[in-house]
Structure 1
Amino acid sequence: MSVFAYPSETIREAEKPLLEAGIPLMARAARALANRAAAMVKSDHGQVTGTRICVLAGPGNNAGDALFAAATLGRRGAAVTVITLFDRTHEDGLAAARAAGAQIVTFTTALADGARADALSELSRSDLVLDGILGTGGRRGLPDHIASLIADWAPHRTGRLIAVDVPSDLDPNNTGAEKRLHADLTVTFGGLKTELIDPRVDEFIGTIDVVDIGLGVDPGQATAELLDSDDLVTGFPRPDETGHKYSRGVTGVLAGSEEYPGAGVLTTTSAVNTGAGMVRYLGSPLVAEFVLGLHPEVVSASGRIDAVVLGPGDPEPEFVHSLAEALTGNRTPVVVDAGGLDMIARTESMAGTWLADRPLIITPHAAELARLLSRLLGEIITAGRIGANPIRWALRAAELTGAIVLLKGHHTVIAAPDGHVVLPAPGPGSLATAGSGDVLAGILGTLAATTAAHVRYDSDDRTHPPREWARLAGLGVLLHNEAGRRAVTASGFADALAEVVSELIHGVD
C-alpha cells in the first residue's frame, strides 16, 4: 500500500512536541531496531545467542538508537562491540551498551592509526553491523579516517549491515562507492524520508523498513508517494452497477499515422482493454481501418470525449489541428506521448496554447525530456544528466510546463507542478521494447477519461489537484507493469490488459 515520504525537517518538527511531552521516542525506535536486527541474525544464524554485533557509533541520536538496540541484543546473548568514531557519542546509549557487556574500540581521528587493526578485526568478524554514524544532517561525506576504514573493511566484509534511520553519507553526488556503507536494510523511524527515495542512492539503502513511533505525520505534508501493486487493486476505477458507457468514460485516441499505423493500433487496443466505456479513434482513415478490423466496438465518428491520448506514431498535422479546434475552450484532460511532445517544446509555457488550463500528462523517456528541456531552458540538457537525477529534472519539467510529467524508465518518476512526486514500483524488464510506451499512453488516457467522467456524473467538484492526477498516472504505470509480467511484446502487453483488468473488476476465481 501507499507509503508517503517526507522531508527530514517535517519528521523532526513532528517529533518536537512529543519529546517536550516526555514521550520516549528513542526507546521506541531502539526497541524496533533491536527486533529487526534480531530477526536478521536469526534468519542467518538460527539464534541471537553467540552472534557478533558491531556498532559504528557517531555523535548523534542515530548512535543512541543503535547503542540501545545493541544493549538489548547483548542481553539476549550476542557479543557486542562498539566502535566510537568521534570524540563524543550518545552517552546514555554507550552506558547501556557497556552495562550489557559491550566492548569498546575508540577509533577517533587522533587514535585511528593505533586502533585500525582492532576496528578492522571487529568489523570483519561481525555477523551484523549497525550503522549509527550520521543522521539526516550529516550526508556531505564521511571524515577521512572513517572512509578509509570502510574501504579497508569492504573486501573482507562477510556479515550484514543495517542503517539506522538513514545510511551515513547518503549524499547522492558523492563518488567513491568503495568508501561508503552499503546497507542490506535501512530501518527508518516516524516516516519515510525523502532522502531514501532518490534512485541515485538505491545501492546504499537495501530494503527499507519504516517504523511507526507514533508521530502521526499528516500525509498532506508528504512530498512523495510510493505505490505498489496493492494500490492498483484498491485504486483501480471499477464500473458502477448503475452506470452506462458514458459514465465509464470516452477515450479519444489520436495516435498512429500512415507511416506508423501500428502505434495507433497499440494505443487503441490498450484503451479498449483498460476498460473505457467507449473509444473514439480520431486519426488517419487508413489507421482506422486497421483499428476497426481488430476492435469493431471502436467508434471513428466525432462526438463526446472525456480524455484524449495524443502523439504515439506521429499523427498527421491535420488531425492534430482538428483536435485542437475541438478541445479549445474546455478542460478535457490530454495525455501527450512521443511525437506529441514537440508541440510543447515549441513554447516556453503552456499559456496561450490549446493545451493550457486542462489536466495534462506528458510521458517522455530521458532523451525526449532532454530535448524538451533543452528547448524550454535554452541550454543543452542531456539524457545522461536526466538519468543522473531523474526526480530533479522531472520536477523541473513539471514546473515549466504545468503538466504531470511521467518520466519513463526502470524507476519511473511522476512529478506534479506543485512539487509532489509519485514513484510506482518498478516493472519487469520485458517492458523495455518497441511500442510499450504506446500501450502505457492508452492506459493513461482511459484512466483519465474514467476520472473525468466520474466528475461529470457523480461529483459536484469539477477539479482534481495535481497530485491526484499524478497518483492516477502511477496507477497506470502499475497496470502497465502487470501486463508486462504476462507478455514480452507490446502487442502482447496490450492484449494482456484485458485479462488484468478483468481480474481487477471481477476478481480472480
Structure 2
Amino acid sequence: MSVFAYPSEIIREAEVPLLEAGVPLMARAARALANISIDTLTARFGRVTGARVCVLAGPGNNAGDALFAASTLGRRGAAVTVITLFDRTHDEGLTAARRAGAQVIAFTTAEADATDAFRELSRADLVLDGILGTGGRRGLPEHIADLVADWAPHRTGSLIAVDVPSDLSPDSDGAEARLHADRTVTFGGLKEELVDPRVHEFTGSIDVIDIGLGLDTEQAVAELLDADDLSRDFPRPQAGGHKYSRGVVGVLAGSEDYPGAGVLTTTSAVSTGAGMVRYLGSPLVAEYVIGVHPEVVSASGRVNAFVFGPGDPEPEFVQSATDALSDSHIPVIIDAGGLEMVGRAEAMVGTWMAERPIIITPHAGELARLLSRLLGEIITAGRIGQDPAGWARQAADLTGTIVLLKGHHTVIAAPDGLVVLPEPGPASLATAGSGDVLAGILGTLAAIASARHRYDGDDQPVPSREWARLAGLGVLVHNAAGGRAVTASGFADALTEVVEELIHGAS
C-alpha cells in the first residue's frame, strides 16, 4: 500500500509536542524493535534463549531504542553485549540493558583495543545498529569505520538498523566495508533518505513503526507505490459511462522510418482501456495501426489526452497536432523525439505547452541532454545515475512538467517537489520499444482522468502530485505486463490480460 516519506526534521518536529506531553515514544519504538528482533531470531535460529545479541551503541536516541530493546531480549534469555562507541550513550537505556544482564564493552577511541568488540560482533546472531540516528552526520568516526571494515567479511548474523543505517550514503565507494542492514526499523514515519533508490543495499527491507505522530501527508516529499495501490486505484469503467467518458487518447507516434513505435503505442493505449484511440500521424503508419486494431480512428476530433514523440513523427504532423492543442488544456505525454521540444522557445508557439499537465518520459541519456540544454553545461547520463531523484526534481522545477525518469528504479518528480517511486519492475522491461508501450499506457490513464474531471464538472485544476501518482500507476501497469513477456510487442499484448484482471478480477 502507498507509503509516504518525510524529511527527518519534519518527523523530529512532530515528536516534540508529544515528548513534552510525556508520551512514551521511545518505549513504543523499543517495544516494536524488540518484537521484530525476537521474530528475526526465531525465524533464523528457532529461539531467543541463548542467542547472542550485540548492540552498537552511539550517543543518540536510536541507541536508547536499541538498548531498551536489548534489555527485553536479555530478559528473554539472550546473551547481550553492548559496545559503546562514544564517550557517552543513552544512560537510561544502558542501565536497563545492564539490569537485564548485558555485558558492556567500551570501544570509544582509535587507541582502544578492538579485540573484544571484534570478537563479540563476529559471533553475534543479531546485531542492532544504534550508532548514529537521523541527527548524525554521514560517515563514521575512524575507529568505528575500521572496526566495521574488519568485521564485515566475517559477519554471520543478522543486522538490524535502528531508525536509519548509521553509515547511510549513496556513495558506493568502499561499500563492501560498510554496514549493510538486512532490515531497517524506522519510527514515526518513513525518512526521506531511506527511499533513495541508491541506498537499498544498505537498508535491506524497511519496517515503518507508527508511534502516533499523526504526520500530514501534504508535508511528504515522496510516495512509494506498489501492486496493492494499482489493484485499489486502477480506473475502472463506471456504470452508465460511454466511450467519451472513458477517455479518448490522441496518439502521434511512429514515422515512415519507425512505424513500429506507432503500433506499439496505440496497442498499449487500446489495451489499457481507453474509450477511443485516435491515431494522428503518418497515413502509412495508420495503415499498420488499423490493420492490427480496427477500432482505432484515424480522423481528428475530440481527445482527452495526447501522446506524442515515440518513433520520431514527421514534423508536419507534429506541427498540425500542436496547433490543435493550443485551443485546449488537456494533459500531454511527451516521449522520445518529442523531448527535444521541451524547454525550447519555438515550442511555445501558440503557448500549447502552457497551462496544461505535461508528463515527460526520458531515460537518463535523454534527461542529460535536456538538462544540458536548459542549464548550459554538460550533464552526463552518469551524473543522472548518481542522483536520479535529485536530477528529476531539478528537471521538474525547470520545465514545470512531471518528469518520469525511466530506469530499473523509475523516479517520477512533480514540480512541487514530490517524488513518486513505484516498486521496480522486471529486468525484461529493458528492451527496445518498451518506452513506447509505457507512453501509450500513460496516455490512456491521463485521458481517463481528464474525461472524468470534465464530466464531473470540476473546474479546479488537478494538482501536479496527483498526475505524478497517476504516472506511478502507469509504471505499475507496465511492470505487470513486463512480468508476462520479454519483448515490447509481448508487453503490449500482455496488457490486455493485465487490464482485464484489474477491471474484472483474476479468475
TM over 0.5: yes
Q: Displacement, 1:462?
A: 3.9
Partner-residue secondary structure (3-state), 1:251? strand
In the aligned structure 2, how far is the partner of 1:218 from the partner of 1:345?
34
Q: Displacement, 1:351?
A: 9.3
Equivalent residue number for residue 437 of structure 1: 435
Q: Displacement, 1:176?
A: 2.1
Equivalent residue number for residue 252 of structure 1: 250
Q: Displacement, 1:179?
A: 3.7
Q: Displacement, 1:266?
A: 0.1
Q: Deviations over 1:171-211 (max 9, x none)?
A: 32473224421100000000000010111211110000000
Structure 1 segment 448-467 matched on structure 2, within 5 A: 448-467=446-465
* Pair 1:131-2:129 in alignment: yes
* Pair 1:365-2:360 in alignment: no
In the aligned structure 2, how far is the partner of 1:14 from the partner of 1:178?
35
Equivalent residue number for residue 472 of structure 2: 474
| Equivalent position amino acid for 2:83 in 1 | I
| Equivalent position amino acid for 1:14 in 2 | A
1:214 aligned residue (212, 215, 235): 212
Structure 1 segment 86-97 matched on structure 2, within 5 A: 86-97=86-97
Equivalent residue number for residue 68 of structure 1: 68
Equivalent residue number for residue 201 of structure 2: 203
| Equivalent position amino acid for 1:384 in 2 | G
Moved more, 436-445 or 178-187: 178-187
Shift in CA distance, 178/503, structure 1 to aligned 2, threshold 3 Å:
closer
Q: Displacement, 1:139?
A: 3.2
In the aligned structure 2, how far is the partner of 1:488 from the partner of 1:242?
37
Structure 1 segment 24-423 matched on structure 2, within 5 A: 24-109=24-109, 112-173=110-171, 175-347=173-345, 353-423=351-421
| Equivalent position amino acid for 2:481 in 1 | A
Partner-residue secondary structure (3-state), 2:213? coil
Equivalent residue number for residue 3 of structure 1: 3
Q: Is residue 6–residue 222 contact of structure 2 (8 Å, CA) maintained in 1?
A: yes
Q: Deviations over 1:460-480 (max 9, x none)?
A: 244100000000000000000
In the aligned structure 1, how far is the partner of 2:188 from the partner of 2:459?
34
Partner-residue secondary structure (3-state), 1:115? coil
Q: Deviations over 1:60-110 (max 9, x none)?
A: 10100000000000000000000000000000000000000000000001x
Q: Is residue 326–residue 350 contact of structure 2 (8 Å, CA) maintained in 1?
A: no
Q: Is residue 323–residue 350 contact of structure 2 (8 Å, CA) maintained in 1?
A: no
Q: Is residue 273–residue 501 contact of structure 1 (8 Å, CA) maintained in 2?
A: yes
| Equivalent position amino acid for 2:84 in 1 | T
Q: Is residue 343–residue 399 contact of structure 2 (8 Å, CA) maintained in 1?
A: no
Structure 1 segment 478-489 matched on structure 2, within 5 A: 478-489=476-487
| Equivalent position amino acid for 2:335 in 1 | D
In the aligned structure 2, how far is the partner of 1:366 from the partner of 1:202?
20
Partner-residue secondary structure (3-state), 2:17? helix
Structure 1 unaligned runs (5+)? none
In the aligned structure 2, how far is the partner of 1:486 from the partner of 1:74?
48
In the aligned structure 2, how far is the partner of 1:336 from the partner of 1:202?
30
| Equivalent position amino acid for 1:372 in 2 | L
Q: Is residue 5–residue 223 contact of structure 2 (8 Å, CA) maintained in 1?
A: yes
Q: Deviations over 1:358-416 (max 9, x none)?
A: 10000000000000000000000000000010000000000111000000000000000
| Equivalent position amino acid for 2:400 in 1 | G
Q: Displacement, 1:346?
A: 2.9
In the aligned structure 2, how far is the partner of 1:312 from the partner of 1:494?
14
Q: Is residue 139–residue 170 contact of structure 1 (8 Å, CA) maintained in 2?
A: no
Partner-residue secondary structure (3-state), 2:333? strand
In the aligned structure 2, how far is the partner of 1:460 from the partner of 1:139?
47
In the aligned structure 2, how far is the partner of 1:500 from the partner of 1:260?
27
In the aligned structure 2, how far is the partner of 1:95 from the partner of 1:350?
67
* TM-score in terms of structure 2 length: 0.98
| Equivalent position amino acid for 1:428 in 2 | P
The root-mean-square deviation of aligned C-alpha atoms, in Å, is 1.3
Pairs aligned (count): 507
Q: Is residue 106–residue 115 contact of structure 1 (8 Å, CA) maintained in 2?
A: no
Q: Deviations over 1:133-178 (max 9, x none)?
A: 0011213211000000000101111111000000002232473224
| Equivalent position amino acid for 2:484 in 1 | R
| Equivalent position amino acid for 2:33 in 1 | L
Q: Displacement, 1:292?
A: 0.4
In the aligned structure 1, how far is the partner of 2:45 from the partner of 2:23?
35
In the aligned structure 1, how far is the partner of 2:386 from the partner of 2:349?
30
